[in-house]
Amino acid sequence: MYNFRKVTDDLFWVGANDHRLALFENIHPLYHGVSYNAYVLLDEKTVLFDTADWAVGRQFIENIQAVLAGRPLDYLVINHVEPDHAASIEEILLRWPKVKIITSPKAVILLHQFGFPIEAEQVEEVREGDTKCFGKHTIAFVSAPMVHWPEAMVSFDTTNGVLFSADAFGSFRALDGKLFADEFDFDGEWLDDARRYYTNIVGKYGPQVQALLNKAANIVGLDNIKYLCPLHGPVWRKDLGYIIDKYVHWATYEPEEKGVMIVYASMYGNTETAAEVLASKLADRGVTNTRLYDVSSTHVSYLISDLFKYSHLVLASVTYNLGIFPPMHNFLADMKALNLQKRTVALVENGSWAPRSGALMREELEKLKHMDILDDGVTMASSLQEQNLPDMDALADAIAASVLK
Ligand code: FEO
């Protein structure tokens, strides 16, 4: 049973949704599924842009067959070789053995490493700025290394302004019948999933995403882009400036909002209480754009996502085995792995007989770039004792002054 949608008069979405996958890349929880997008262009030649994860392979093939309606498939453009998009290549080769593959030289190497049976004469390698005409439509190819793998490229239809943007501008969440971002309440319903996708999958590669955005501006011209067709999530045909602005913030590690994210590690509830007391004191001072998270019960992908959103972070942690509580340590390691920078941070430590977590968290934060660690901090000798409250007031004063300035 096929299920495709029209993007333009001669371009069709032939992807599929996956609601069964629990963990994207076997790490990141999915509660609303994910889509694997691919597109077919019906010109004098027929062109498929990317394939799909094998989990949705049957649906994907039926969609292509329905759109082709008996025509042969002449070309397969491979923008990205990661298996969530490339796994169905072999099925395409089996069904349309005469198809020509257009991709980057690095992708050819990776395709062989993944074991795809591709003959040299079947491949047209394209480099930065190369173009290919398929009839009415001329496609330009632009390399996009490390967005999010080294072989990645994007393809721009110079005829109608469609940018096949690979992982860029992608999002978690299944499309479920809709396709275009303007068919959703994107800001209300989707933005958090788009940010969580970007920050956890591509977040490390901000400089490379900036390079791609600069190329899009200088080579293609942002005004010439009329459609963004990513490999996951909705297609953009309206208000492209909205999502491009989000990408500029994320790629440059600039926060979207002034606000405070308080992440606590608490074994028996005392550090949790301290985090709540701090949040109350911030509210007393007029800082209400705050979020409170238990690091033990919040998947780190959500913490990373909100960290890219908010300007300020408070880490409140018990001392555990004379070190940092392991889930908090994992969060700090993920911040480093994803190149997080440019945040103002305050620390609260707890340790009844050996409070060490504050100094150790500071050491980890000092490995990140452009972090402003507030000198004011709070050490809790046991539970929230009366003598610690003045420290908490001073900390709230310092955070509020920084947020409200
Ligand atoms: Fe959705 Fe890097 O693949």
Ligand 1 atom index nearest CA of 36:
1
Question: If you measure from the C-alpha of residue 237 to the centroid of ligand 1, how many angstroms do you get, rounded to a whole number?
Answer: 22
Q: Whose CA is nearest to atom 3 of ligand 1?
A: 82
Ligand 1 atom index nearest CA of 232:
1
Question: If you measure from the C-alpha of residue 381 to the centroid of ligand 1, how many angstroms do you get, rounded to a whole number?
Answer: 46
Ligand 1 atom index nearest CA of 231:
1
pLDDT, tens digit, for every residue of 308-364? Answer: 999 999 999 999 999 999 999 999 999 999 999 999 999 999 987 788 999 999 999
Ligand 1 atom index nearest CA of 149:
2
Report the C-alpha gap between 355 and 360 in whole angstroms: 10
Is the pLDDT at 388 greater than 60, yes or no? no
Question: If you measure from the C-alpha of residue 77 to the centroid of ligand 1, how many angstroms do you get, rounded to a whole number?
Answer: 15
Ligand 1 pocket list (CB less than 6 A): 80, 82, 84-85, 148-149, 167, 231-232
Q: What is the pLDDT averaged over residues 213-240?
A: 93
pLDDT, tens digit, for every residue of 122-171? Answer: 999 999 999 999 999 999 999 999 998 999 999 999 999 999 999 999 99
Question: Sign of the CA dihedral 182, 183, 188, 194?
Answer: negative
CB half-sphere exposure, 22, CA atoms < 13 A: 0
**Beta bridge pairs of residue 8:** 11
Question: If you measure from the C-alpha of residue 85 to the centroid of ligand 1, how many angstroms do you get, rounded to a whole number?
Answer: 7
Q: What is the pLDDT averaged over residues 46-59?
A: 98
Q: Yes or no: say if 298 and 331 are a contact pair by the CB < 8 Å rule.
A: no
Q: Dihedral angle at the C-alpha atoms of 236, 239, 242, 247, nearest 10 degrees?
A: 40
Question: If you measure from the C-alpha of residue 245 to the centroid of ligand 1, how many angstroms do you get, rounded to a whole number?
Answer: 21
pLDDT at 385: 54
Report the C-alpha gap between 120 and 20 in whole angstroms: 36
Q: If you ran DSSP here, which 8-state letter would residue 235 be given?
A: B
If pLDDT is split at 50, 70 and 90, which confidence band does 63 have? Answer: very high
CA 281 to chain centre: 33
Question: Sign of the CA dihedral 290, 363, 300, 344?
Answer: positive
